[in-house]
A = this chain, B = another copy of it.
Amino acid sequence: MKMKKVGIVGASGYSGEELVRLLLHHPHVELSAVTSRQNAGQTLAQVFPKFANHPRARELRFSEPKVEVLSKQADIVFLALPHGVAAEYAVPLMQAGCIVIDLSADFRVKSAEVYKEFYAHDHPAPDLLGKSVYGLPEVYREQIKKATLIASPGCYPTSILLPLIPLLKAGIIKHTGIIADSLSGVSGAGRKAELDYLFVECNESVRPYGVPKHRHLSEIEQELSVAASAPVTIQFTPHLIPVNRGILTTLYVAPEKHFSNETEMKELGEKISTCYKQVYGNEPFVRLLEGKALPDTKNVVGTNVCEIAWRLDARTGRLIVMSAEDNLVKGASGQAVQSMNILCGFPEIAGLV
């Protein structure tokens, strides 16, 4: 298999660092460029001592992010940048022939108006919105194969979409009244020197934030609407939890079919179970929990796996679905690498196990 050359723009944040980790050890790519304004000139090994035993990390130096240089160094460029900034690089990189895998929110939302509503500024490159593929491999694998611009999904969206999309598509649950309650590790806030994310402010603290209109709602509702073939509006509450990594999402949904006795509950349960097995039974990165097991972030941290479990509640008539993922891997960099693997024709799990 021909090696691809890959670059990372914004490689000093948490998802950038995680991309470095994954791509340094990937069997089919060579990490050929990493950029970072504040670390330009230093080697990967100097900035991230934990990679120092990798020979490539001792020679590859951070550079200033310059499109004309990058486009020669790399076939594929990952953008690990804040929203709004990513688009500035995506446009010229694509013009220069690079494939772009964007981890920001810039190309996830298909509508420039929705983007503006949620991100409070005009979309910087509305023409590209039609070209981008939402990089959720379990849903858009075929489209990813032919993509030139991949909008890799956010961490919260992944934890919500993977459990819900099969049920909506199969008509098992109602598309109204959905509630998503999510708990995120602190790396989700990025490597930013802000008081709110100091150790002492986060340790021994649990708190909701961004209630009730978090930006990720735009892409979540867009994708749920596609799955439901109807406009979906959901309730979403994120919370900050004192762990480095991991998202745990608890979803409250209403089954289409009312169940009022043991038999009906068992029937519905089998329908849900079958649906998930058909859709995810062969997916390498979705783990359907069985028996009494419930998701636990510690079982997915460091991996590209999303765990899913569900329970029917005879008392309330509701279905509760729970998921766990590593926000930096399946919720960001691992998923982006998974898309790259599909796009390049590599084994989908290459560099991810």
Could you tell me which A residues sit within 8 Å of B by CB distance?
14, 25, 46, 49-50, 52-54, 179, 181, 183, 185-187, 191-195, 197-209, 211-213, 233-235, 237, 239, 241-246, 248, 250, 252, 284-285, 287, 289, 291, 293-303, 305, 307, 311-313, 315-316, 318, 320, 322, 324, 353
- Can you list 24 A-B pairs, Cβ within 8 angstroms, ordered by A? A14-B200, A49-B293, A49-B296, A49-B307, A50-B300, A50-B303, A52-B287, A192-B198, A193-B193, A193-B195, A193-B198, A197-B200, A199-B242, A203-B203, A203-B242, A205-B246, A205-B298, A206-B241, A207-B294, A208-B295, A213-B313, A235-B252, A237-B320, A252-B252
Residue of A284, A285, A313 with highest tally of chain B CB at under 10 A: A313
Asked whether A316 lies within 8 Å of B235 as measured between CB atoms, the reply is yes
Knowing A241-B241, A302-B302, A303-B50 are in contact, say whether A320-B203 is a contact too (CB < 8 A): no
Knowing A186-B199, A299-B49, A307-B49 are in contact, say whether A246-B179 is a contact too (CB < 8 A): no
In the bound complex, how far is the Cα of B312 from the Cα of A208, in angstroms? 15
Give the residue of B204, B213, B252 whose beta carbon is less than 8 angstroms from that of A244.
B204
Asked whether A199 lies within 8 Å of B193 as measured between CB atoms, the reply is no
Asked whether B242 lies within 8 Å of A208 as measured between CB atoms, the reply is no
